[in-house]
Every structure is written in structure tokens, then in C-alpha cells.
Chain A
């Protein structure tokens, strides 16, 4: 291990879908410390790389169009850039959309931090018949642009070299100063001279950035200068200047500045962007004419979703089988080598029976992540948000709410809840937070896979699963509609969205995403689930049943008595009257309660309960088979159980994130707990009792 490395702190900024995360993955590989949950960059992600004598710490920020943040994720990016002051900013610019992407560059450059442009997607630009003269860009404007094709990992080494060279001042990058014209410049100078009167303020922030944004009456900047000794004077001058400029140009102050910036950008593009050949036909246009067609859009969307589930369940089936066989073998082997007693029970029934039950579904989780990451990286998921917006609005939601739901389905409710930050309207965001936990997240997936595997044929499995996914969406929409009509009334926010061009995803990018999300699942299995499994095993194994209760009965009956007389068994008996009307016994109740720690624990708890009921650990059968053979379970109860799992209170981590994202208000937390529990019980009651009346089970 190298010591005395020089540390360089850089961040990746850029517009949404410009390839920041691809570059981040190329730079850091698996050396990432994911600060948030993968799936959507609404928080910063951190990683590092070592090159020669340098350790480069990299932060990947959420995509932004400008520094005037309007949603929570944009605030994260803006605050980091301004507050943390990295040594260098890499502005990832989509070369095929050079002018629009350069808008952010001008604002970053005005911060006074050294900025390198990572000129991504130059292959796409070439297909459009254009090229950008990077040498001329440097020579004429002092802007360092490094060509890059991030999804093919071409140009990453050049970026690293540029970072080191700029850091060591071997390359002199200039700070871009936009010429706003004499009138505006005079006003900027007036404000700047007041800022310089407060030496600390001038040293802390870029004076240029402050003056431009004070004129724009930017709330964030006004807050930052709130404690300055020149606050009143600054505010008065800035507002006066803003009004003068607005009057002079007969336009809003933002439009005036944007116009000046784009005029400069246009002049730069006119010099450095060259048309070298005739543009090829735009593939995105052709695909969009079909995919966004008024008639075909929804059926195509349905087909895509169905394909994801069919692929996941069909392809993962043999792998799940091998995993289960491996766990069975392990269970048998442990039963063979460990002497009979409490320790054997702890290892075989507790650890292997519990955690093994969850790990068995790891291949299925990976294939699901793979399929969704593929569609995300093609650009289709952005279209899905657009396609769904109209539909979602009927239920009082926003198209971006659908993105939250997809993200929740794509691994975990936690990033789904965090993805709601991109929704500007507070009420829309709250409704989204309330209904996102209804989705079948990666943690609920093992429960569904377990019960569907146990009570439905392999042929019907994918179809039943698809129906369950549709049901989760229907329930979420219905709940949103009720909320919008009652306690969260209001008009939904406008829909403005950029649709990224379609791209061929890189296998490495998809595999990395799949791995990121998969690792979270494994980490949970090794921590929360393991801990809960031990608690559940101890709760089921103690106190030891004895006396007359276990005299003259079979081993199987004794095991059953042990479960019944244990601490957890007593807890199950206590709650049974409440859940009996929805078809569940105490064992199911215990599993549901334990699922509040993490949803996978429902499976591990059932695994432990049923493992304890096994007489011979060397002959352990898969949990699905044990459930199928249990007379207390049938198809109707299984479906009811799944519906309850769909709706009831999310896991403790998701609840904590919900609390934070909903503004840390206790009333919303209490409401979530009440509403999910009552809705789960009522829906399950209707399904179970109606099913019984229709003769589907007893």
C-alpha cells in the first residue's frame, strides 16, 4: 500500500443523463462508498482511485441543469459544489448537446473553481456529422475539454491525466467570465465592491457568483449572506440593480442573464463546433415515433414490464434451484458434523434455516436488477415516466412518482422514497412517499417468490408474479387517489422533462448496477437479517418445553409444542385473534412482525419456524415445500398473506427515510403507520373472506 499520496478532491457535475455515473464507475470501479442507495443519484456517491502518487477522491453528484436548484436532488448538488469547494470540478458535457450543456459550465466556472470539461458521447456527435475542436477551445477560451466515450470506457485515462496536470498547474485552465454588457457589468461591479467590504464573505464564496445571483434574488445566496455585516446594503443594491436590469431589457432577470450566457455559448459553438459530414438519421426519433405513439405507448410499456418479469423468473429458476440445493446440502452437512443439541439447532435451524432461506433468492434478485438496469440504460425508463404521467395524474400523482415506484421495485423502497425528491410539488411528493412503500421491492420479492413457488406451478409463477406487480400499482394508485381527494388536495405540478436519446447500454455498466444493488441485499442478509434470525431462533427455542406437555408424544409433536410454548409462540398466540379473520395463525403473525425489521426477515423467520419443526436436520426440505405440505396453508391464505405483505408498514429503515423525506413531521409518520396497517388488514379481510365465500379455500 502506497503512503504519502497526494489527495485530490474532485466532483462530477453535469446535466441529467450526460454520462456522469458511467464516468464515475469507470474512474472508481468497485471502489465506491455509496452514500445513498443505488438506483438513482439523488444523493452524492463517493469513490476513489489511485494513480501514481495521487489519490483522487471522486464525488458523483445528481444531474443539474443550472445552479439555481428547484428540486431537492438539485439542492444536494448545488450545496456540495458551493459549500465543499472541491479542488476541481469535472463538468461532464454531452457533446451531442454541446450548447445546452455548456450553460452549466459557465455557472460552474463563475464559482472560481478549476473546471475540466469531460466531453462525453463524441461518437454520437460524430454520427450527427459534427466534431468539436478541443485544441481551439483551449487556445481561444482557455477551456480544457477532454474527449470521452464513457459507456465504452474510452478516454477515462485522459481525464485522470488532465485532473493531475490541472491540479499541479501544468495546464492552465481559465475562469470563464461572461460578458454581460456594459449596463449589467456596471451593476455587478457595484455589488462586488460592497461584497469586498466584508473580507470574510469575499474569501468564503466566489464574488462573481454572489453578485450575479444576488441580482437574480436567489434565495440560497440571500441566505448565505444573511449574517454578513453588509447584508442590508448588499440586498438593497442587488434588488435595485435587478429591477433596473429587468426594466432596461423588458424581460425577467433570469431570462436576461440566460440570454447573455447563451449568446456567449453560441459564439463559442460557432468557433469550435464543425460540421464534417451529413447527419445520419436519428434513431431516437424513429424509436420514439413507435414507443411514444398515442395508441402503442401503453401496450408497449406493459410488454416491457411483462418481459422484465418473465426474463427474471424464467432465467433465474435453475440458479435459484442450485442455490437451494446448496443450502440444503449445507444444512444436512452441518446436521451431520455438529452434535445434536442447542448449538446444532442454532446453526441448522437458526442461521442456515433463516439466512439461507433469504439467500436462496439471491440469483432471482440479481436477474431482476439486470433486466431493469438494461431498460434504464437504454433511455426507455425516462419514456415510461412520460408515458405514465397522464395516467398517474388521474390518480393525483406525477409522472415522476412512477419513477419512484420503479426505483422501489428496482431494489428497495428506500431509494424509491429518496427519488421522490425530484418532484417539485410538496403535496405530490408526500403522496408519492405514502404510496411508494406499496411496491414490491427487492426485500419483498423473496416472500412473493417463496409463496408463489410453493402454491403455484412453475409455468404460472411468472404470470402470478406479474399480476401481483400490477396489483401493487393498482393499490398504490387507489391510495394516491384517496389521499389526493381527502387530506392532500391540490393541483399536480406541471410536467417538464428531457427525454434522453436512446443508447446501447454497456454490459459493464449494467453489471455494475446489478452488483451495487445485489451487494446491498447480501449486506442485509449478513447484518439485519442474521441478527433478527438469531433473535427469532432464541425466541422460538426458549423457554424449553418440558414436563407433561412433551411426554408420550412423537418428536414431530414435541417440536410443535416447543414452538407453541416459546416466547415467540406465546406472542403469536396473543396476536392470533386479530389476524385470524384474515386467515393467519400465530406463525404467520410472528413472521409479519419480524418483517418490520426487514421484509426478507419474513422468509427467514418462516425458515426458522419450519426448520425447528423438522425432526431430522440432515433431511431438510426447501421451505417452499414445507409450506406447501403444511395443512395450515392453502392458495387463498398464501395470496392473502402476499397482499398483506404488499400493504403493511414498510421496514424500519424505509420508515426512517420516510420520516426524513416527509419533513421529519411526526404526524405523517403516525399517519403512515395507521394507514398502512388498517389498509392491509381491511384489504386482506375482504380478499380472504370473499375467497372463502367463493369456495377458494378454508
Chain B
């Protein structure tokens, strides 16, 4: 298990748990479909202070502060 900020581009990840983030942000991510066991596909790595990934068919952009509090398991590395 590692934070989303450590994940590599084009990998399929499975969301595991939230770290230390504010309740309202957690609520918003949950509403967007980020629930334990949900797979997400990283589009852009955390090189620029931001991460973009696909969650339930939608492109989601996050800043790295919050992405660092999203704990994921890596399933497949397409590279």
C-alpha cells in the first residue's frame, strides 16, 4: 500500500483508504465514487504538484496534498 502520489503513469490502482484529510474533501471524493476496492487509472504522475486519474470513467484532477492522503494498491503495471 502506498499513497497515490507514489504511483506511476498508466498503472491500474485499487483505492484502499483515506489518510488524514478533511471530512468535506473525503465526502466529495466519496461522492465521485472513490470507495475502497474501486479501481483507478493514473493518467499523469505527481510531477507537477497535481495528479490526474480516471475514476468510474471520469477524469479527476487533484493536488498532491490530497493525493498523498489517498492510499492505493497497485494491481497492474502496463509498462
Interface set of A (CB-CB < 8 Å, partner B)? 65-66, 68, 70, 96-100, 103, 251-252, 254-255, 258-259, 262, 284-285, 288, 292, 294, 386, 389-390, 424, 494-501
Whether the Cβ atoms of B27 and A70 lie closer than 8 Å is: yes
| A–B pairs, 15, beta carbons within 8 Å | A68-B27, A70-B24, A99-B33, A99-B56, A100-B32, A100-B55, A252-B26, A285-B43, A288-B59, A386-B50, A390-B48, A494-B21, A494-B25, A495-B63, A496-B29
Whether the Cβ atoms of A100 and B61 lie closer than 8 Å is: no
| Shortest distance between the CB of B4 and any CB in chain A (Å) | 12
Q: Given A259-B35, A494-B25, verify A390-B58 contact (CB < 8 Å).
A: no
A501, B52: Cα distance in complex, Å: 13
| Shortest distance between the CB of A114 and any CB in chain B (Å) | 23
Residues of chain B lying within 8 A (CB to CB) of residue A100:
32-33, 55-58
A312, B10: Cα distance in complex, Å: 40
Across chains A and B, the number of contacting residue pairs, with CB separation under 8 Å, is 97
Residue of chain B at shortest CB distance from A251: B36
Whether the Cβ atoms of B63 and A494 lie closer than 8 Å is: yes
Of B26, B32, B63, B66, which is within 8 A of A254 by CB?
B26
| Interface range on chain B (Cβ under 8 Å from partner) | 35 or more
Whether the Cβ atoms of A103 and B49 lie closer than 8 Å is: no
Residues of chain B lying within 8 A (CB to CB) of residue A495:
50, 61-63, 66
Q: Given A284-B59, A494-B63, A497-B61, verify A390-B31 contact (CB < 8 Å).
A: no
Residues of chain B lying within 8 A (CB to CB) of residue A496:
25, 28-29, 32, 60-62, 66
Residues of chain A lying within 8 A (CB to CB) of residue B66:
494-496
Whether the Cβ atoms of A254 and B48 lie closer than 8 Å is: no
Q: When A and B form their complex, which 8 residue pairs have the shortest distance between CB atoms, in order from nearest?
A: A65-B31, A495-B63, A499-B59, A100-B56, A66-B31, A494-B66, A97-B57, A258-B30
Whether the Cβ atoms of B35 and A65 lie closer than 8 Å is: no
Whether the Cβ atoms of A262 and B62 lie closer than 8 Å is: no
A217, B19: Cα distance in complex, Å: 21
Of B18, B28, B50, B65, which is within 8 A of A65 by CB?
B28
User: Is B75 an interface residue when CB atoms closer than 8 A count as contact?
Assistant: no
A678, B42: Cα distance in complex, Å: 48
Residue of chain A at shortest CB distance from B66: A494
Residues of chain B lying within 8 A (CB to CB) of residue A285:
43
A70, B43: Cα distance in complex, Å: 27
| Shortest distance between the CB of A463 and any CB in chain B (Å) | 31
| Shortest distance between the CB of B43 and any CB in chain A (Å) | 7
Of A284, A424, A498, which is within 8 A of B60 by CB?
A498
User: Is B73 an interface residue when CB atoms closer than 8 A count as contact?
Assistant: no
A251, B37: Cα distance in complex, Å: 13
4 additional A-B pairs beyond A494-B66, A498-B60, beta carbons within 8 Å, are A292-B44, A294-B48, A495-B66, A496-B29
Of B28, B35, B56, B62, which is within 8 A of A255 by CB?
B35
Whether the Cβ atoms of B57 and A96 lie closer than 8 Å is: yes
Residues of chain A lying within 8 A (CB to CB) of residue B47:
294
A660, B28: Cα distance in complex, Å: 26
Whether the Cβ atoms of A498 and B31 lie closer than 8 Å is: no
Residue of chain A at shortest CB distance from B38: A262
Q: Given A494-B63, A496-B60, A499-B59, verify A65-B52 contact (CB < 8 Å).
A: no
| Shortest distance between the CB of A465 and any CB in chain B (Å) | 31
A37, B60: Cα distance in complex, Å: 28
Whether the Cβ atoms of B24 and A424 lie closer than 8 Å is: yes
| Shortest distance between the CB of B31 and any CB in chain A (Å) | 4
| Shortest distance between the CB of B34 and any CB in chain A (Å) | 9
Residues of chain B lying within 8 A (CB to CB) of residue A99:
33, 56-57
Whether the Cβ atoms of B36 and A103 lie closer than 8 Å is: no
Residues of chain B lying within 8 A (CB to CB) of residue A65:
28, 31-32
A258, B25: Cα distance in complex, Å: 15
User: Is B1 an interface residue when CB atoms closer than 8 A count as contact?
Assistant: no
Whether the Cβ atoms of B50 and A70 lie closer than 8 Å is: no
A557, B29: Cα distance in complex, Å: 70
Residues of chain A lying within 8 A (CB to CB) of residue B56:
97, 99-100
Residue of chain A at shortest CB distance from B65: A494
Residues of chain A lying within 8 A (CB to CB) of residue B33:
99-100, 103, 258, 262
Q: Identify the interface centre among A97, A100, A389, A494: most chain B CB within 10 Å of its CB.
A: A494
A403, B38: Cα distance in complex, Å: 30
Whether the Cβ atoms of A254 and B30 lie closer than 8 Å is: yes
Q: Identify the interface centre among B21, B25, B61: most chain A CB within 10 Å of its CB.
A: B61
Q: Identify the interface centre among A294, A496, A498: most chain B CB within 10 Å of its CB.
A: A496
| Shortest distance between the CB of A497 and any CB in chain B (Å) | 5
Residues of chain A lying within 8 A (CB to CB) of residue B58:
97, 100, 498-499
A497, B31: Cα distance in complex, Å: 12
A423, B25: Cα distance in complex, Å: 12
| Shortest distance between the CB of B68 and any CB in chain A (Å) | 11
A65, B66: Cα distance in complex, Å: 19
Residue of chain B at shortest CB distance from A125: B57
A498, B59: Cα distance in complex, Å: 6
Residue of chain B at shortest CB distance from A382: B61
Residues of chain A lying within 8 A (CB to CB) of residue B28:
65, 70, 496
A103, B56: Cα distance in complex, Å: 11
A389, B61: Cα distance in complex, Å: 11
Residue of chain B at shortest CB distance from A257: B30
| Shortest distance between the CB of A97 and any CB in chain B (Å) | 5
Residues of chain B lying within 8 A (CB to CB) of residue A284:
59
A288, B9: Cα distance in complex, Å: 14
Whether the Cβ atoms of A499 and B52 lie closer than 8 Å is: yes
Q: Identify the interface centre among B27, B29, B52: most chain A CB within 10 Å of its CB.
A: B27
A100, B60: Cα distance in complex, Å: 12
Whether the Cβ atoms of B59 and A103 lie closer than 8 Å is: no
A147, B65: Cα distance in complex, Å: 40
| Shortest distance between the CB of A91 and any CB in chain B (Å) | 15
Whether the Cβ atoms of A389 and B26 lie closer than 8 Å is: no
A494, B50: Cα distance in complex, Å: 11
| Shortest distance between the CB of A394 and any CB in chain B (Å) | 11
| Shortest distance between the CB of A301 and any CB in chain B (Å) | 14
Whether the Cβ atoms of A259 and B36 lie closer than 8 Å is: yes
Q: Given A294-B48, A424-B24, verify A498-B32 contact (CB < 8 Å).
A: yes
| Shortest distance between the CB of A62 and any CB in chain B (Å) | 14
Whether the Cβ atoms of B57 and A258 lie closer than 8 Å is: no
Residues of chain B lying within 8 A (CB to CB) of residue A255:
30, 35-36
Residue of chain A at shortest CB distance from B17: A251
Residues of chain B lying within 8 A (CB to CB) of residue A424:
24
| Shortest distance between the CB of A272 and any CB in chain B (Å) | 15
| Shortest distance between the CB of B39 and any CB in chain A (Å) | 12
| Shortest distance between the CB of A562 and any CB in chain B (Å) | 61
| Shortest distance between the CB of A613 and any CB in chain B (Å) | 56
Whether the Cβ atoms of A103 and B63 lie closer than 8 Å is: no
| Shortest distance between the CB of A548 and any CB in chain B (Å) | 73
A518, B36: Cα distance in complex, Å: 48
A96, B59: Cα distance in complex, Å: 12
A252, B22: Cα distance in complex, Å: 13
A17, B21: Cα distance in complex, Å: 26
A259, B47: Cα distance in complex, Å: 31
